[in-house]
Amino acid sequence: MVKLFVVRSFFYSTSLWSVRVVWFGSMLKFSLFIFVILFNILSSSLIAQNETTDSANYKLQEVIVTATRTEKLVSKVAGNCEIISKNEIQNSSVNNIDDLLKSAGSVYVNRSWGIFSKNSSVTMRGLNSSSRTLVMLDGIPMNKLSGGAVNWHAINPDDIGKIEIVKGPVSALYGGNAMGGTINMISSEPDKKASGSIKIFYGDHNTIGTSLNLSGKDSPINGFFWNISAFTRKGDGYIFIPEESITQYDKPLYLTEYGLNGKLGYKFKKGSKVSFNYHHYNELRGSGDSFFEKDGSYEKIITGIYTLNYTSKIGKFNSTLGAFLYSEKYFNQDESMNNFNEYRLLFRDVLKNDYGINWTVSGKFNEKNTITTGFEIRNGDVNSDEDYKTSTDFINYHGNLSLYGLFVQDDFEISQKFNLVAGLRVDYARFYNGSLFVTEPSSVTGYEGDVNKKFHESNWFAYSPKLALKYSISEHLSSYISYSTGFMPPKLDDLCKSGKINRGFKLANPDLLPEKLKNFEVGANYNLNKLSTKTSVYYSIGTDFQYFAKTGEVIVAANGEEKPIFIRKNISEISIKGAEIELKYNLHKHIQVKASYSYNKPTITKYNGNDSLNDLTGNTLLEVPSDMFFGGFSYLNEKIINFDISYNYISAQWADDENTIELEPYGLVNIRISKDIKKRFNFYIDIQNLFNKIYVDRKGQLPPGRFSMLGIKVNF
């Protein structure tokens, strides 16, 4: 077993902290796991007999839409849900919206290069890969069908009014990607006739940025609401290579980005509402090296998201009709030098479009039954050009994937104490227009000759049932038991893209099927006026998981070495044992304490990769920390000072499928101190990674370390 160790010189400032982290992790792993189970078993009998009728001013009860597609109190949902409020968003020391999700148990946010990260992955409940967690913006899926990933940079935290998190599979309502859970970011709605703010900030690595927000309600005429916001950010970045390994070709991960958001809507007198939203985001990010090109390797992404929503009443039912277009133009200039000092320059030009419509109707069918039903059509296409400038190779691949979903759910009130939720969604998927063209290939790309291939069409169905029983023991205490399912559609990149990978050569597989997950769960929610806790224990079984399988053929690399050919197939099964507990306590009207802990053990239980030397059976999924802890303390007092401090612990995790490289655990402390002056000015300082903890990511690269930011916001 190989361990990636951080450069010794980085340890001096963090060693004490590391000891605490290790102790903390191992203690929590056992004690909290047992606590979660005991809590579920004993809560019914013990707490029910000692109900507290504390009626202080605080109400931790919040309304969530994402869990059922209808408005419902979090405590009434037969599952584990969480809400991050506007206040929490505004007062956290985060630079990107995904950073906020760290506070939710079982959510793992991997953004190891801070604001300079090219990609940030958010995964839930023991599953890796961004595509196994559904992320939405106002109900619109943000996971692209091409690769499943989410571009978190495209969302300005200032535009978001609330984040709803539903843990566990929710494919019965949302279809694809909702395996580990669902995150729905809901944009802010103006609450004043006219208001605005402007923010300027400056931080480490010469990072400078601005943001502007203007909004209005019932202006210029009654019924209209609008919002215009924009942000810019630019930073010189840092070099992510250990100092002693830096060469003349290693360069900082620079960053330049800006975004624009426009929202326009109208509320009709009878309660109907129509709104149009447009997000534009433009980013340029250095990749950390430069050989001949002035800008070195970099990625440039231009994103446009258009959404249209119309909500209305149809009799006693609420109707929501939505349409969206999510377009991403990706360009990558990739410079490299191999071990033989051969220079490579590659331009990648990829256009990805996701678009679709959805319609949901929900309402009380009768006194006992709340019915939610609807349909969804989601399409995705990808067109990629890879132009090798230092050889003759040119590769183009293209593909379309369409998903058609129908769903129905009944929330049946059996009695005052029991609720039964039963739902089913059927998805039909079709892959078509798949093609791969390769011209003048050389050993660089590994193709033997020109390719002009049209892939055959393929299709499949996914059935996603859900059954959950909620038992409201008292006003404050409830428990639930549920069976839910999720699936992840195959990615267009796997359906129609062949090409070199680190281990050899990968073939496209147009016959890939979706991955599936069944989840069995019990949980309990306990809410007093000042205290709220949620616990759950779950066991998940994943089938048809995709891994590379050897075809038995080989290609000959440029250096004469034979490398195996792989094809991605549905060849694996996994199981996940997990538990989570979250706590929110309003200690005082100005003080809130939050904590969450989760334990996940995902194991590969079956693997048929045609590779006897590399059987993954019994291994743990890579990039899944078994233990995560978040602790936060907030003091909010406009008259004195606002203060927020949080600690996030991530336990060791495997960096490879073979479980030979283990990444060290780490813990990070972030703080924000801000001061309001006459409600017009707000001065703040953010410090992320306060103790400058340096850890190594999966690729052996380093985080930026302590990152400080000073800012001022002016409200008008």
Partner 1 sequence: MRYAIRYITIFISLILLIQCKKAQLSDVEPIISFKTDSGFTFSDKTLKLGDTIKVGIIANSADGENITLFNTKFFAGEQSTSVDSGLNSSELNYERQIIKGISEKETWIFMVKNKAGLRQEISINLFKDSTSEFINITHIPKVILGAQLNNNYGTAWSSSLDSVFSITKAYTNQSSIDFLYFYDFNGDENTISSPGGNVDTSIYGSTYSPSYWSTRNTTRFELTTLTVQEFDNSYNDSLIYANTFDYASGKRKSKNLKTNDIYSFVLNNAGKKGLFKVLSVDGTTAGKIELEIKIQN
Phi first, then psi: what are they for 421, rounded to 5°? -115, 120
Rounded least distance, CB 440 to partner 1, Å: 9
> Roughly how many angstroms between the first and final C-alpha of the chain, as a whole number?
58
Interface with partner 1 (CB under 8 A), residue from 220, 315, 449, 560: 560
Interface with partner 1 (CB under 8 A), residue from 13, 65, 83, 196: 196
How many positions of this chain bind partner 1 (CB under 8 A)? 34
Interface with partner 1 (CB under 8 A), residue from 214, 239, 426, 591: 214
Question: For residues 264 and 444, which CB has a smaller minimum distance to partner 1 in the complex?
Answer: 444
Question: For residues 234 and 430, which CB has a smaller minimum distance to partner 1 in the complex?
Answer: 234
Using rule CB under 8 A, residue 343 touches partner 1: yes
Q: What is the C-alpha to C-alpha distance for residues 77 and 69, in angstroms, rounded to an integer?
A: 11
The two tokens of residue 558 are 């440029």
Stretch that binds partner 1, among 190-198, 407-415, 541-549, 645-653 (CB under 8 A): 190-198
Stretch that binds partner 1, among 74-82, 272-280, 336-344, 420-428 (CB under 8 A): 336-344
Stretch that binds partner 1, among 164-172, 289-297, 361-369, 447-455 (CB under 8 A): 289-297
Using rule CB under 8 A, residue 51 touches partner 1: no
Interface with partner 1 (CB under 8 A), residue from 67, 74, 150, 230: 230
Q: What is the C-alpha to C-alpha distance for residues 652 and 624, in angstroms, rounded to an integer?
A: 8
Rounded least distance, CB 442 to partner 1, Å: 5
Contact between residue 508 and residue 436 where contact means Cβ atoms under 8 Å apart = yes
Pairing mode, if any, of strands 194-203 and 181-187?
A: unpaired
Strand, coil or helix: what is 18? helix
Q: What is the C-alpha to C-alpha distance for residues 385 and 393, in angstroms, rounded to an integer?
A: 11
Question: For residues 342 and 457, which CB has a smaller minimum distance to partner 1 in the complex?
Answer: 342
Return the HEC string of 274-307: EEEEEEEEEEEEECCECCCCCCCCEEEEEEEEEE
- Name residue 244's beta-bridge partners: none
Interface with partner 1 (CB under 8 A), residue from 52, 119, 256, 659: 256
CA angle 625, 629, 633 (to 5 degrees): 155
Question: For residues 345 and 591, which CB has a smaller minimum distance to partner 1 in the complex?
Answer: 345
Contact between residue 551 and residue 56 where contact means Cβ atoms under 8 Å apart = no
DSSP E strands in 66-179: the ranges are 72-73, 81-84, 107-110, 121-124, 133-137, 140-141, 160-167
Question: For residues 44 and 256, which CB has a smaller minimum distance to partner 1 in the complex?
Answer: 256
Using rule CB under 8 A, residue 451 touches partner 1: no
**Sequence letter at residue 520:** F
Stretch that binds partner 1, among 85-93, 146-154, 288-296, 501-509 (CB under 8 A): 288-296
Contact between residue 184 and residue 492 where contact means Cβ atoms under 8 Å apart = no
Stretch that binds partner 1, among 119-127, 229-237, 368-376, 622-630 (CB under 8 A): 229-237
Using rule CB under 8 A, residue 681 touches partner 1: no
Interface with partner 1 (CB under 8 A), residue from 35, 224, 249, 291: 291
Q: What is the C-alpha to C-alpha distance for residues 365 and 370, in angstroms, rounded to an integer?
A: 6
Kind and range of the H or E run holding 359:
strand 343-364
Q: What is the C-alpha to C-alpha distance for residues 374 and 154, in angstroms, rounded to an integer?
A: 29
Which among 705, 627, 664 is positioned nearest to 112, based on CA atoms? Answer: 705
Interface with partner 1 (CB under 8 A), residue from 37, 239, 284, 321: 284
Using rule CB under 8 A, residue 712 touches partner 1: no
Interface with partner 1 (CB under 8 A), residue from 191, 243, 387, 457: 387
DSSP, res 25: H
141-180 binders of partner 1 (CB under 8 A): none
Interface with partner 1 (CB under 8 A), residue from 234, 563, 577, 601: 234
Stretch that binds partner 1, among 35-43, 191-199, 407-415, 687-695 (CB under 8 A): 191-199
Q: What is the C-alpha to C-alpha distance for residues 22 and 6, in angstroms, rounded to an integer?
A: 16
Interface with partner 1 (CB under 8 A), residue from 344, 348, 430, 500: 344
Q: Which residues bind partner 1 (CB under 8 A)?
A: 194, 196, 198, 210, 212, 214, 230, 232, 234, 256, 258, 282-284, 291-293, 300, 331, 335, 342-345, 387, 389-392, 442, 444, 560, 714, 716
